[in-house]
Structure 1
Amino acid sequence: MDWLFPSVAATLAGTVVLTGTYLYLYFHDRRKYLLVWGIAWLVHAFRDLFMLLCIAPSPVFQLSPFFIANQLAALVSGLLLLWGTYIFIRRKLPSGWLIFALLNVSWIIIGSFTAVGFTVLTTPSYFFQGFVYIWTGLVIKKHFQVRGPGIHFTAGAFILWGLHKFDYPFLRPVAWFAPWGYLLSATLEIVVAIGMLLIYFEATREALAQNEERYDLAVQGSSDGIWDWEERRGDTLWCSPRIYQMLGYSPGELCSGISAWREIVHPDDRERVEQTLREHLARLEPIDLELRLRSKQMGYRWFRGRGRPTLDGPDNHRRLAGTLQDITELKNALQQLRMAFFSIEKTAMEIFWITENAHFIYVNEYACQLLGYDRNELLALTVFDIDPDFTREMWTHHWEILRSKGTVSIQSRHRRKDGSLIPVEVTANYHVYEGQVYNFAYAKDISERLLAEKEKHQLEGQIRRAQKMEAIGTLAGGIAHDFNNILGVILGYAEIARDDSPPDSPARKDLDKVIAAGFRARDLVQRILAFSRQAPVERIPLRPGPIISEALTMLRASLPSTISFQEDLAVDCGVICADPIQLHQIIMNLGTNAFHAMERSGGILRVTMKNADTLPETLLRKEGGAHKRFVMLTVQDTGCGISPEIMDKIFDPFFTTKELGKGTGMGLSMVYGIVHDYGGTILVDSLPGNGTTFYLYFPCCDEMECNSETKPGPALLPGKGHVLLVDDEQMLGEMGKTLLERLGYRVTLFSGSLDALEAFRKEPSQFDLVITDQTMPEMTGIDLARNLLQLRPDIPIILCTGYSNLVNEDTAKAAGIKAFALKPMSRDQLSQLIASATASAS
């Protein structure tokens, strides 16, 4: 039996199996080299088919077209196998192999027509195929990274197959060997097919194992847990260990039943969760929901569950698998972020993110409300639209400063949509966010702060004026004592000299003027003390019209004719409680100031008085001010006016703009002090070149509010008796001794209080009256009086002082002193005081 044809057919069958194996692997793995190898074996199958057609007529070798096609198919198959191997090792097929293949084709065609022998004709082709097979086997052995027998089978089969190709030109003509050679090729083809399948099965197994390992590592390393539910399992829910770890339970503590898991869902979430699961399972839609689960240690925590329902198995049962993520910290962070954003939106400051070209990319809600825009309108604007103080040139300079310093604070103004302006304090911050530079700015409305600062400045000005007034009071009190003592000496000796002058002599008239001037000086000291609140003021209910008219008469006589007077004093003005001397002083000071303002060019001094129809805000804010009646005195001039720069200083003590010798800076401050002490106020209206108007408001009062009794003038009352006179001022003591002696008294004079006390202690009964000064170096007058009263309680004592802030009439009487007097006194006042003291003692 001829076995050649069946053996070739077996080889064809093996090639078909090998081709199917490679194409099957390609359709599963989609590697290009598998496709090229599969095509190579398909061409090889045609080679076997051509061989069958060639030997079908006769098993004896003969040249024919089918043989030539067989050789060419063998050559192309080897070339494709070589190309696929180069693709497998990721290298390009060298062009030399193509040249060799073309030469070999040429040789086969030429050799077929030149009747060369089989061995000579086929040796180049089969040696090429043998090299390709052996090299492919070595490449598979080296480069397939797979363990197992498949790689050894495949590589060994290729190498053995390649060696067989080397012997084929020589053994094919041997008739008994040819069938065995084809059967060997068929066997090696089956071995290669099985080996490739084993390689890919092992590779698949290793890949699956690696994927499972990666999956396990991912699950263990991930913060998410995995769960799986199948409808065919009923109530059973599979959960990964991570889920139990997140909840703090062990698998034994929390069973896998759906009902057990339902119990740890927050009661407020259960119905929502169950409804969501039902709806998504019915529609097979992905699930993504948030819910709260009760952990073992930390109470309820927030979780995010995600899953995808599918139909599984031949019965299409429903299956739902997914992940569970603990989002408690994320929830808390989001809540904090929302709160922070809410705070930014609602904070009482404008907040802006601004680009380098001055455009807004974010504005908060407060900025929109404050400026009157909606958000889209404001985002469409630029810095220059809302800040009229910024120009483009200034913005460029501002950005350079901001870039160098990082933070810049400025005061500016923002323009509302209605055009009104708001003072703001802007803090700009330079930030780089995601590679872009921004100006993160926040602006605060400082309208109230500026108003408060203005009010604070005004209050500080009032405090400074009060402090200056206090300083004046301290100064006035310091000089009043010495000044009154000096006046006392002048007045005393002037009265003595007047008494010694003939009644109608010029000297007596001159001395009368000296005495009158002295008493005016005494009144001036009292005014200064009253102004500085260092002495009591005697206020009486009065209608101010006559006093103001009298003061204007005196003022008119002292001013030049270039000043015209206009007087309009309403007769129905209310009664005010005031000191007439202080009213006189107010008119004189304001009139003198008006004269100085009109001195160069003349003008009109207009004085009006009427009941106030409306009240200024300063009076309305006072307690009960809105319910009182006021008299308004207006003093207006047409002079040079007052500049705004000094307007807030004009009532400060010692502040003056007059040249030396024309003012002390005390006039307006004294007027200010008197009016405010009465409970009224003074306002001024002036512009440079348009004159000045002062508005003085005096509160009205009833006549019963003050004592309106007038005291009769003193009369000379001669006396007798022994007077102990104590005064450390020698001249004042000697003058007082002379006056007392002329009144008929016998006088013992001491300049020291201790000496006087010692003389009184030796013989208390010899003195009928004690007159002592208060301020003395060794012992004050009131302390001397206390010691004298201890020695003789019935002794009448008169305490005199030029000024003292330690003693007054009330403290003196509380110490047992019969009379208290302020220096200087006239002779008549002294006689009346002695008579009053001795009368009260008796």
Structure 2
Amino acid sequence: MSLKSKFILILMLFFVLYGIMNVLLDHFIILPNFQEIERDEAQKHSERAVRAVKKEIHHLDSLCHDWSAWDKIHTFAETPSRDYAEDNLPLTLFTDNEVNLICICNKEGKVLWGEAYDSEKETIIQLTDFPKDFFPENHPLFSLCPAEKKSPAERSVSGLLMTQKGIMMVASRPLLTRNNEGPVPGTLITGRFLNDNIVKMLVEQVRADFRIFPIQAGSMSETVRDVPKLITEESPYLIRNEDDAHLLVYTTFPDIRGETGFLVQSRIHKSISEKGLGAVHYALILETGMLFALIILLIFLIHQIILRPIKHLTNNILSVGETGDLSARVSISSRDEIGTLATGFDRIVTKLEEQTDQLANVNKALKKDIIEREQTEEALRESEERYRSFVQNFQGIAFRRDMNFAPQFLHGAVEEITGYTEDDFLSGTPEWDEVVHPEDQPELADVTEKLFSIPNYSNRKEYRIIRKDGQVRWVHQFISTVCDDSGKPACIQGSLYDITDQLRTEKALHESENYCRLLLYSMHDEIIVVDRNHKITDVNKDFLVTAGRRRDEVLGRYCFNIYPGFHELFERRGPNRKLRDVFNTGNSYSCRHKDIAHNGSDVWTELLMSPLADENGDMTHVIIAMRNVTREVHLENHMRLTQKMEAIGTLAGGIAYNFNTILMSIMVNIEFALKKTQGNIPACESLELSMKAACRAKDLVEQVLTFSCEAEKEMIPLEVSPILKESLEMLGSSLPATIKIRQEIEITSDTIFADPDQIHQIIFNLCTNAAYAMRKNGGTLFVSLTEEVFDSDTNPGLGSTIKPGSYLMLKVEDTGEGIRPEIMDRIFDPFFTSKAPGQGTGMGLAVVHGILSDIGGIIEVKSEPGKGTVFDVFLPKIESEKISASEYIYTPRTGTGTLLLVDDEISLAESLENALKNFGYDVRSETRSSEALHLFRQTPERFDLVVTDQTMAEMTGLELAKEILSVRPDIPIILCSDSDEFVNREQALSIGIKHVVLKPVTASDLVKIIYDILNKRS
């Protein structure tokens, strides 16, 4: 058997003996201790169960005490009353307080009121232990607490009582006043069944499964019948095993008489024993594993420390004997017997090896000398070849001089650079100082002085020489001193190159760069040059002026940091990396980019990125040219808006022309209805309101026509306050609830000379702008109308824009966001607006300014951002007859005569015919101009006057008038037209037409004209 096998057998025997000892220790010592801890814990569980029952009895006693100290119950016990019992002792008292028994007795034991209640069946029950009429003196609820031992407030009886319905917790308290004072008129008894629900609740509270049952011979099972006898005062708890996983703990509980009346059984899970057994098993497995690992470790250590060195020593001894190799060593560093044996063996082998090596070294030295000699000869041949090649191809001059500056060595392109040969310089004609340009000789003299005074000094210098042919050349010289072993300068050596062509190239490149930079700086666009890292390498002057920065502040910085608004174009990653795409593709890129200025306005920039490539075609830089085209963009937008407004004006004009005919028919019929309903005041008032609305529609149509074809407005004397009140009333219904209107009108005379619709337009434009400024946060719109008188000394701030005299001042003030100072000078410009696109045309204030210019008024504005804006409008007053803007209805006279009415609109022709007949005229209407002309030619003397429309399909009004006048030149003709654009008044009057009327016209106005013409003719 080997030494290794013996060691393993010994360790395995030790392992088996240790395992047997460990099992015996666990079984007879450790596990019994766990079981004892388990029994102690089981006893504590049983104690908690008993305390829980006692606590529940205490709660019932506290409830009984609270009820017993109630004045009403105290009074009821002294003077019983059925009404009190019916009003204060309902059955809900049992369910609300979770009690099953309430009994009130007087001090003799007579039951004044008492009931037992089954809460599960919700019925009244009878318990024999609680009589309905009288409690005997020996009843436990009365006899266990003598009155002379305690104060009335401390007298109580509580505990468990076994009834025919089960175990009941009962409590008895003397009846007292609310101050817990006597006299005691009786006793209050309360009870609650200790049923399964209460036991379940207590189990959840103490977290221990237990149950309680009475100690009665007939009701106890065989397993617990002997338990009460085994429980004594010295040993109040009995513990038994129910099965392998549970313990049963028994203890007694006294009844209300203090006798052992109930048995409490607690069921405890053997968790401690299970955990202990598991811990023992785990420890046994862990110890076994650790012991097994220790044995493996011991085997390994014995093998490494003892067996392996012995085997290694044995193998080396055998190897030396078999092969004769003396270099093998045992190399065992231990200090034990094995290490000593190995060291002795190594010494013997070492001595033998030394003697053998001495002989081998002698032989090796001889071979090495031969090889080194051959290598040195080869290196010399290679060095000579390299030097010869260098000298033949050297493009400069290599030289060496002694410390007296006498040339020792000179070779290279001497004649090509200086025009002199090598022999000329070696012979000393010329000296090198004679070749140097006179202007550069002082600097070389300074270098020469340092070469002599400073050890190991070196210098690089560019200077000029004069060739033999007189040509001046630039050379670059490197020169240094060579010191001897003592550290003193021994000689001077160096090299020299002709750099004339290089300097010319650099100069040309510098001039080219200056030219490109001058060209870059002269451009009026903002120019920046960026490299592939998006850093700025150059900028022009216009960029610095626009950016407000110095050149050193921007060079080397990222372009997207200088222009944060262009970040999406200049960014290095992302979908819009246009600058990176220019570098990658080599293609130029141009676009228009919108940015937001510091004042919040839009700034449009036209941007062009052009790549720059090096000699290899790689894109190294990009030139970015930027030009501010905000003005051009605004002009383009204004042009589009102007074209749009012209198109809208043309469309509005066409609609207005057609609407005039319809509106005229409405107005004529309203007038006709007014005449027919005279005397019916409500109807007349309604028709007059309709007439005013029609007149307002007529004015609006005229306003549309004015917008579309610049027609003249009719200026009349009018009162401003009615128009202001009417406009504010109409405006109030359209404003949000967050904006309140406050108005003040303090005037005695408010007559001005203007057009009513223009005044409406001024009020509406100013008020709607003010409302828009308060759209977010709401506010107050204040409108006032006052009188102001100006002379040459009053309000000099108005300057020469207003003439002295009386004025109406219309003030429109809001509490909105105000007007920014930078746009204050532009708010009256046409098409300028600060509103979002699509929310304004920019014409509102421009129209107001134009209207005031026409009527001789002015407008002033004051604004503070964040606080609001005030517009003051000054309207020149006149002293003349006041004409209200609402006076549109006339009362014309009736007349006589025969009229020919021509209009191709059937409804309008019929309406006018009826209206004119109502005023006493005989009217013949025709809807075709040819039929009307035919009728007139048949009986020209029949008609006294002709009324014709201008715009008709077959023949215009002017053409029909010419034909009629050719038949009868003295016939008066009235021409009706939709607009001045279709009729030239001078031309119409020149051919014989008496009057030109613009539609829509009321029947009253037309009758007045007819009456005036016929009376004037007569």
Normalising by structure 2, what TM-score? 0.39
**Structure number having the greater strand percentage:** 2
**Structure number having the greater helix percentage:** 1
Normalising by structure 1, what TM-score? 0.46
Structure showing greater relative contact order (alpha-carbon pairs closer than 8 Å, 6 or more residues apart): 1
